[in-house]
Amino acid sequence: MSELKYWASRKAEKWMLWIVWKLPKRLVMWCAIRVMANATTGQYSNQVVPELTAMDALDRWGVS
């Protein structure tokens, strides 16, 4: 059963990536701005924006 779950999750991930690469660049840009804004407000309001790494922003968003 775990092989079936693995196969299904791989197919779902490939399908999602295909969709993501088809999104308009302006939409992706605004999504990135929203993640960065989230990662530099609240308890992280002292964050220097140019020093913010992508992984830190995603951790703060709750993705990683």
In a domain, 38, yes or no: yes
Domain of 50 in residue numbering reads as 24-64
Amino acid symbol at 32: A
Best-predicted range by mean pLDDT (17-26, 34-43, 53-62): 17-26
Q: How confident is the model at residue 22 (pLDDT cuts 50, 70, 90)?
A: very high
In a domain, 19, yes or no: no
The overall pTM is greater than 0.75: no
Number of domains in the chain: 1
In a domain, 9, yes or no: no
d(CA 57, CA 32): 9
d(CA 64, CA 56): 9
